[in-house]
Amino acid sequence: MKRLFVFGLIAGFAGTLAAAYWVPWFSYTRYASQTSVVANGGRAEQFVIRLPADRVYPLDQGVEETPESGGSEQPHAYVEHFKLRDTAGNVVGIAARHTLGEEQPATVWLLSIPSRGALMLDGGAVLPATIRALLVQQGWVPGEPWAGQLTLTDGARAESVATTNEFDGLAVELTETWTISGVSPSGELRGTIALNTVGRRGS
């Protein structure tokens, strides 16, 4: 009887500690990476942001907004946050983009994909002023809805300054391509932002 009690005691103690160590407390759905091999080495992968559905904050950011965030008390930085999808349409992560300065804007991206790691990138981006100007060229009148097809990209590539977990050790380049299919009367964009990345090992 005493042995049985001690056995139960040890089993309960050890089992709980084993669970504390071995139980996976968190898990994320790991979708298959939609990658392809590029000719001169490395792997290419595209992530997609659907507008306006994937915009997280600010919610009311439209093409008519000025490139500032948070009102007069906040730094004059243009900050945006999106849900990030793979090319199959699955939400795989969160993207944050900060742009500072207007004449020679500097843009940085943070892409966090919980099941895979994070990418921190520094480099060029498509700017709202550029989008506005091109839309006006295409016949968009501010305050009115617009429908059409506008594709724009910035030649400058963003380059990774840090990577984690699955991306660790990769030098990643990113280019943005915006495909705009419409603008609402409030200036909200409809379309997609494609983030094309190429990762190379060990540079």
Partner 1 sequence: MKYFLTWFGGIVLGVAAALAALYYNPLTSGGGTAPNVASTLTLSYGFPEPNVLALSHNEQLKLAPIPEEIPLLWESGIDGTALSVLALADSEGQTMAVASRVSVPSLRTNLLLEGILVDDYWLITVADEGSLFVRAQSNYWPLFKETVVLVGYLRRPWSGPRRYAPTAGPRAGRFAEVIGATGRFAGRDGTAQEFLTLDRYSAAGGFESMHGQLLLALDEEPAP
List residues binding partner 1 (CB under 8 A). Answer: 1, 4-17, 20-29, 31, 55-59, 69-70, 73-77, 79, 81, 83, 90-94, 96, 98, 100, 106, 108, 110, 112-115, 118, 120, 122, 161-162, 164
Whole-number minimum distance, CB 85 to partner 1, in Å? Answer: 9
Sort 44 into a burial class: Cβ within 10 Å, 0-12 / 13-18 / 19+: middle
Distance separating alpha carbons of residues 121 and 95, to the nearest angstrom: 11
Q: What's the DSSP call for residue 133? A: H
3-state secondary structure of 120: strand
Whole-number minimum distance, CB 165 to partner 1, in Å? Answer: 8
- Between 135 and 195, CB nearer to partner 1: 195
- Between 98 and 134, CB nearer to partner 1: 98
- Whether residue 97 contacts residue 79, with contact meaning beta carbons closer than 8 Å, is answered with yes
Whole-number minimum distance, CB 48 to partner 1, in Å? Answer: 13
- Reading the block at residue 159, the tokens are 């380059």
- Between 107 and 140, CB nearer to partner 1: 107
- Reading the block at residue 59, the tokens are 């919610």
3-state secondary structure of 109: strand
Residue count (the chain):
203
Whole-number minimum distance, CB 49 to partner 1, in Å? Answer: 13
Whole-number minimum distance, CB 10 to partner 1, in Å? Answer: 6
Distance separating alpha carbons of residues 28 and 84, to the nearest angstrom: 15
- Between 29 and 137, CB nearer to partner 1: 29
Q: Which residues pair with 171 in a beta bridge?
A: 200
- Between 120 and 170, CB nearer to partner 1: 120
Whole-number minimum distance, CB 159 to partner 1, in Å? Answer: 10
- Reading the block at residue 126, the tokens are 């498509």
- Between 113 and 135, CB nearer to partner 1: 113
